Structure 1
Amino acid sequence: MTTLGTATAAPGEFSTGRLPVGEARDGSEVALPVAVLNGARDGKTLYLQAVSDGDELNGVGVLQRLIPRLDPADLAGQILVVGIVNLHAFHVAEHRNPIDDTKMNRAYPGDPNGTSSERIAAATFEAAQRADVVLDLHQGSTSRMINETRVRCGPRHRLHDDCLELARVFDAGYVLDQKGPDGQLARAAPDEGIPTIDPELGGAVGWDEESISIGVQGVENVLVHYGFLDGETSHGEQTRASGFEQYGAPAGGLVSFRKDLADEVSRGDPLFDVTDPFGAVKSTVTADSDGIFWRTRRLPQVATGEYVCSVGTDVDTV
């Protein structure tokens, strides 16, 4: 029997339920939607979660399409799923948990007696620690971004190669291989010996079908490669960046990009112009380094110093 919160499944069964994480302001229980797929055969455990950030919905789009396609009778091992991690933020379509103004993916491994976000992190981290492999499904918030996977444990970590292999198997085409901030699940779980990545499935307002399809295929690749499902899978050569440069606006106005997502960038190439409302160029920003045009803001209007775009640097293939 496999249990996660109130979801309980015998071998060969599927179950949904709720994982309690505290109480709301009216005293009602707050509980995250969870699912368990318990395979008919023994095997490994995969932990899947989505919506750690409340406006990053492509991950739950992946679960919505993937889970109905999985038959526990065909499965070896078990899959533990938390469908919506940052439930408070999801309800109000915001990035951060509005109860404590915290970015959830900075709260791991959490604290069962701490803030709202720390309690959610502790409950989901406890589930993640039961796994052999962890996928934390993200997107680039509402920015425009390429589809990528992120290896966040750092190149000197004992599990770095295992996490990089997991990223290659997921096969989103691009890998950001850079040590992440403290408090990320993809930092905390490798410290417990569990290979973990956070696929960043593009960026969208709402969700994006192309990125969701890449995510569904990525999870299926993982399920086959790690023996949860029978079959064969192969992954192609992927572009890896181990640096990440961000560019802000030197003047206020409207942004016009000179590069498209995934374009190769050479040092000195124009990245974007800032114009006035009548099209006159006020400033042109050029690349400091060679790399890949990785991410941009979605809306054109900017104030001085406001974020505009990012370039992945120190690029090779894996």
Structure 2
Amino acid sequence: MTRASVKMGGQAVAAGTSKTILLPVPDTSLRQGSVMPVHLFHGRREGPSLFVCAAIHGDELNGIEIIRRLTRLKRLKQLAGTLYAIPIVNVYGFLANTRYLPDRRDLNRFFPGKEGGSLASELASVFFENVVRRCGYGIDLHTASNHRKNLPHIRGDMADAEVLSMAEAFGAPLALDMAPMEGSLRAAAMESGIKVLLFEAGEALRFDEFSIRAGLRGITSVLESLGMLPAGKRSRKRVPLQIATDRAWCRAPASGLFRATARLGQHVRKGEVLGAIHDPFGSRSADLVAPKDGMIIGDQSLGAVYKGDAIMHIASFDAPRQAQASVDEYSEMVMDDRRAR
């Protein structure tokens, strides 16, 4: 029996085909018409529905490239179920090279949105009602905010068995078991029973090849684990997932110019000096000291800092040596992998 077609935006997509649907979103001030492109792949065989989205924050570029590469995979011809790939959710922020919407709102605080509300609410509603509600699963791609960089890691509700299974399948070495922020896509999806992973890697306004490969590798692995894609001819190696037990930001104790001595991905001890903050005239002001044992999973790149600025993000693990080994092994596997390209 032939699988039924799926309809979106007034168009039908037959089983075994794909189509790019242009969802209308509120106009810019030029009133020339704005759209959110959705790449819809409708498999011949029955299976789950999953969305992959990027650029909810308009300056986060890695996810856009991950989805570009995903939609060009020949393997998608073997897809079971339905895949929705949305490279740019916040089209306004993307055009302006900014994280936010034109009214300075953060789109990821307005889900599920509503018609007749603010621009953020309208845009969130278009995405949530037309894409997210159709799916049982989702992967939300992010980078760190401006002037910061994140080590590749997963965020999600690790107490949920299905989310944990997705996280393990994704293959990233580290995960943060985090409750979602109110109004975030993940929070709204959870309330609707949709299982969502958030992948963090890299920095805003920059393409990072390692993060891109890691994201594409992870998404295809999740599709395989859900039965949406057949397993590859070669078994894909995975590292043991390390779930953080705690995390904290290391904040600047003084204003000045910061020079780091610790690096992203490094394991540090409580009280260890991570760098020094000098005043602009050369005298030493203060050391940046680790508040706890853990691994640096995020840092900032600006030289000039103010007292209280979040400089390094440290996550703690029950098995710190295993976490370090997982990160190192994962780095080698991602750069050597050919299957996800």
TM-score, shorter chain, exceeding 0.5: yes
Determine the structure 1 residue equivalent to 2:315: 312
The one-letter amino acid of 2:297's match is W
Determine the structure 1 residue equivalent to 2:105: 102
Determine the structure 1 residue equivalent to 2:180: 180
Deviation for aligned residue 1:307: 2.6
Q: In the alignment, which of 146, 151, 169 is matched to residue 151 of structure 2?
A: 146
* Residues in 2 aligned to 1:238 and 1:202: alpha-carbon distance in whole angstroms: 19
CA contact (8 A) 2:250 2:289 kept: no
* Residues in 2 aligned to 1:240 and 1:299: alpha-carbon distance in whole angstroms: 29
CA contact (8 A) 1:7 1:34 kept: no
Determine the structure 1 residue equivalent to 2:227: 227
2:32 counterpart of 1:28: yes
Count of residues in correspondence between the two structures: 312
Deviation for aligned residue 1:242: 4.0
Q: Deviations over 1:31-77 (max 9, x none)?
A: 11111011121111111111000111100110111111145431111
Q: Deviations over 1:60-99 (max 9, x none)?
A: 110111111145431111101222101110000001112x
Q: Identity of paired residues, percent?
A: 29
* Residues in 1 aligned to 2:76 and 2:239: alpha-carbon distance in whole angstroms: 29
Determine the structure 1 residue equivalent to 2:65: 61
Unpaired stretches in structure 1, ≥5 consecutive residues: none
Determine the structure 2 residue equivalent to 1:52: 56
* Residues in 2 aligned to 1:192 and 1:70: alpha-carbon distance in whole angstroms: 32
CA contact (8 A) 2:25 2:123 kept: yes
CA contact (8 A) 2:116 2:122 kept: yes
| Range that drifts further, 172-181 or 211-220 | 172-181
Q: In the alignment, which of 90, 94, 97 is matched to residue 93 of structure 1?
A: 97
* Residues in 1 aligned to 2:74 and 2:132: alpha-carbon distance in whole angstroms: 20
The one-letter amino acid of 2:231's match is G
CA contact (8 A) 2:58 2:97 kept: yes
Q: Deviations over 1:264-300 (max 9, x none)?
A: 1221111221013355321012122221111111121
Q: Deviations over 1:174-196 (max 9, x none)?
A: 11112131111122212211110
* Residues in 2 aligned to 1:13 and 1:131: alpha-carbon distance in whole angstroms: 18
Determine the structure 2 residue equivalent to 1:132: 136
Q: In the alignment, which of 38, 43, 48 is matched to residue 39 of structure 1?
A: 43
Distance 1:134 1:304, change over 3 A: same
Q: In the alignment, which of 248, 264, 273 is matched to residue 251 of structure 2?
A: 248
CA contact (8 A) 2:256 2:304 kept: yes
Deviation for aligned residue 1:136: 0.7
CA contact (8 A) 1:248 1:308 kept: yes
Unpaired stretches in structure 2, ≥5 consecutive residues: 327-341
* Residues in 2 aligned to 1:268 and 1:144: alpha-carbon distance in whole angstroms: 23
The one-letter amino acid of 2:185's match is L
Deviation for aligned residue 1:130: 1.0
Deviation for aligned residue 1:26: 2.8
The one-letter amino acid of 2:263's match is D
> Alpha carbon RMSD of aligned pairs, Å?
2.0
The one-letter amino acid of 2:276's match is D
* Residues in 2 aligned to 1:23 and 1:83: alpha-carbon distance in whole angstroms: 19
2:293 counterpart of 1:290: yes
* Residues in 2 aligned to 1:281 and 1:180: alpha-carbon distance in whole angstroms: 40
2:305 counterpart of 1:302: yes
Deviation for aligned residue 1:314: 5.2
* Residues in 1 aligned to 2:181 and 2:133: alpha-carbon distance in whole angstroms: 20
Determine the structure 2 residue equivalent to 1:217: 217
* Residues in 1 aligned to 2:251 and 2:117: alpha-carbon distance in whole angstroms: 35
Task: Please identify runs of 4+ aligned residues in structure 1 that moved more than 4 A.
Answer: 314-318
The one-letter amino acid of 2:92's match is H
* Residues in 2 aligned to 1:202 and 1:239: alpha-carbon distance in whole angstroms: 19
* Residues in 2 aligned to 1:235 and 1:4: alpha-carbon distance in whole angstroms: 36
* Residues in 2 aligned to 1:176 and 1:145: alpha-carbon distance in whole angstroms: 13
Q: Deviations over 1:104-133 (max 9, x none)?
A: 111111112211111111121121121121
CA contact (8 A) 1:2 1:36 kept: no
2:284 counterpart of 1:281: yes
* Residues in 2 aligned to 1:7 and 1:300: alpha-carbon distance in whole angstroms: 51
* Residues in 1 aligned to 2:10 and 2:306: alpha-carbon distance in whole angstroms: 48
* Residues in 1 aligned to 2:225 and 2:9: alpha-carbon distance in whole angstroms: 28
SS in 2 for 1:34: strand
